[in-house]
Amino acid sequence: MAWAQTTSAPAESALPEISVVSDNKARSYTATSSSGATRTDTPLREVPQSVRIITAQQIDDLGAVRLADTVDFVSGISRLNDFGGTWDNFGIRGFSSTDMGFLVNGFPGSRGYNPRRDTATVERFEFLKGPASAIYGSSEPGGTINIVTKKPQFTPRNVAEVSAGSAGLKRATLDSTGPLTQSLAYRLNLMTEEGDSRSNLLSNRRSLIAPAFAWVIDKNTMLNYEGEFLRASTPLDRGLINVRGVLGTLPRDRVLNEPSDGNMNMTSNTHQLTLDRTLSDNWRARIGASYKESSFDGYYTEAALSNPLDANNRTLHRTRTWRQLPSRDVSLQAELEGKFHTGSIGHTMLFGTEASRLWMNTEILRSADMPIDIYNPVYGATPLTPTNRTSSSDEYQRVKAVFVQDQISLSPAWQLLAGLRWDQYNQSIQNRVGGVTNTSQQQSALSPRAGITYLPNAWSSLYLSAGKSFRGNSGTDVNGRAFDPQHSTAYEAGLKLQTADERLGANFALYDITKTNVLTASNVVGFQQAAGEVKSTGFEADVFGQINVNWRISANFSWDDARVSKDRTLATGTRLANIPAYSAGLLTIREDALPNGSRYGIGGGVNYVGNRSGNTADTYSLPAYTIVKLLSYWQVSKTVRLSLDVHNLFNRNYYTGSWANLYVMPGTERSIVARLKLDL
């Protein structure tokens, strides 16, 4: 994405110093610009789109170790089925964030199978609300999360942190950066973690190595490499069995798999290479490549997919399952950005092209029945060998695209944005269950977006925007034809406020989204058709930043009416599963100096999540909940900081999400986490 160039005062023959930096101010929850929203470095108040950025300071205040630890403080984000705690899945304005829901520095980051996102390498999370297909291609219309990673710096710095928690958490990180030569800088992030599971029958281990290098080839050219190598050994913890929609019948630490199964093994290896070139004062070029391969494999004993619970409501039928889910994702990008005028009208033009290739393999085998009593579980059943192959497939996706965008400055008060992207999407699938079948499809889509922003003064802006997005549907209909892709149309109106010192900001947005060609039941049993429709209408509010020298705040509220508007089997108005109508969050921190000159911070967070449908048919509900956390730290010296946090202070029993009629995911019990940070 964008990189900043600053010139020091070296000898005439020396290269200028170039630092890759974020625009976050010290001890602030605000950011003034985002490269993710427009793929250009644009002031946020000029972007006709709601963008909420979780800065490095807020990540630090929360003690967040996962992306999931931050989403409760962003409006319109809800937790969905996270595949047993093994990957990230959130609803953004009612629509799942899987597939293209995540970007890493503007590259696809969530295709295939990916471990949950760790914060060890993260500079900030950019929550880009609304459709992103006009600049990023296939995606859901609710929004996209762009993860901006930490960049190499030419100023030496070393930060180490260790954490320990009452739930068995043990974690250590190291962030080291500095120059290797006058023109080459490095950054190395390391992380190791274990523990922090909901039961002593479950264990968790993770490790991360992330090297990065920035090479200033000359004063106009930078080559940047970033690698990330993550290893995880984690349980496929689906949660608690849903006992006919009656929640709370099982304790939240109840485990119904076989502990002897061990953990799932997950790997993720990512390489990103970008070359930025300043062509003149007004033109720049960028080319980049990303390669990611991941794997997910292991045994797990889980509920049978059909009729898992006996009529006695206590005997659970289980199968021992073996999974192997590898994937490879390659992406290439090229961009040309220019600034010029036509008369009195200013333009920031962006031209780009992309190509990508994704391969995913799925191998799943299941065993015969291994029943267990959910109220009095006895572990140690003889492990059965999975022999029933329920999934065996290879899927290839190939995409090529071109796009153009013009940010037009009509006057100091009026800004116009218009963009258009063309994608050609090819998919081929070989299915080897019940014989070998091969299916393929080729689809193309035009994705436009337009918006206008009015800036009446230096502290506010109003905007209107509209956009379209698409996402491919996998599979074929009763006639063997590929499904048409899903298409979405979204409208948004908003107000943005920002104080003169840019330390306190607010976003308010109204939106209306319609998605068509959603897969629904066909009139032929066992088949589907692309004929469904869902809608999401809502209001969001976020307030964030520095109130004064002592207080930081982050507050959010959302109302989201996400519902079925057309379906063969579901009633019109059925709410989408796991999406609350109302949710809110508040985080406040007070920081001040002690008599001895050291500083302290104390505060807390409150999150409210309303009732949600537990499954697609809305036959049971997940109850509303409110949880509280306490946060505190003592800045002992310039280099030493101690923190103590209490999560789920009142030890509420709550459920963060569900998986159809089978499982509900319990929230974590009260835990205390202590952290020591050394900044050298």
Walking along the chain (680 residues) 10 residues at a time, the average pLDDT comes out as 38 39 59 88 94 95 95 95 87 82 89 88 95 89 94 97 94 98 97 88 93 97 97 91 89 90 93 97 97 94 90 93 95 97 96 96 94 94 91 93 97 97 92 88 92 96 95 72 85 96 95 91 70 93 95 97 91 93 97 93 97 91 96 95 97 92 92 96
Alpha-carbon distance of 566 to 581, in angstroms, equals 19
215, two tokens? 């090479």
Question: 388-411 and 345-369: which strand pairing?
Answer: antiparallel
Beta carbons within 8 Å of 435's beta carbon, 6+ residues apart: none
The alpha-helical segments, DSSP class H, found in 119-235 are 133-136
What 3-state class would DSSP assign to 59?
helix
- 3-class DSSP assignment, residue 508: strand
Helix (H, G, I), strand (E, B) or coil at 72: helix
What stretches of 465-525 show up as alpha helix (H) in DSSP? none
- Residue 581: its pLDDT value, please? 97
* 133 phi, psi to nearest 5 deg: -65, -30
Amino acid at 488: S
Q: Which two tokens stand for residue 328?
A: 């490879």
Quote the DSSP letter at residue 134: H
Q: If residue 250 lies in a helix (H) or strand (E), which one and from where to where?
A: none
| DSSP, res 309 | B
Q: Are 40 and 337 in contact (CB under 8 A)?
A: yes
Single pTM value for the model: 0.93
- Alpha carbon separation from 188 to 176, 266, 530, 679 (Å, rounded): 5, 22, 47, 15
Question: Could you say which DSSP state residue 24 is in?
Answer: P
Q: Which residues pair with 295 in a beta bridge?
A: 267
Structure tokens at 184: 């080459």
Question: Residue 505 phi/psi, 5° resolution?
Answer: -140, 170
SS3 category, 317: coil
Residues in the chain: 680
Domain 33-679 is of which CATH architecture?
A: Beta Barrel (2.40)
Long-range contacts of 436-445 (CB under 8 A, 24+ apart): 439/475, 439/476, 439/480, 439/482, 440/482, 441/472, 441/482, 441/483, 443/472, 443/482, 443/484, 443/485, 445/133, 445/138, 445/470, 445/485, 445/487
In angstroms, rounded to a whole number, what is the distance separating the alpha carbons of residues 89 and 78? 9
Q: CB count, 10 Å around CB of 281?
A: 7
Which 3 state secondary structure label does DSSP give 136? helix
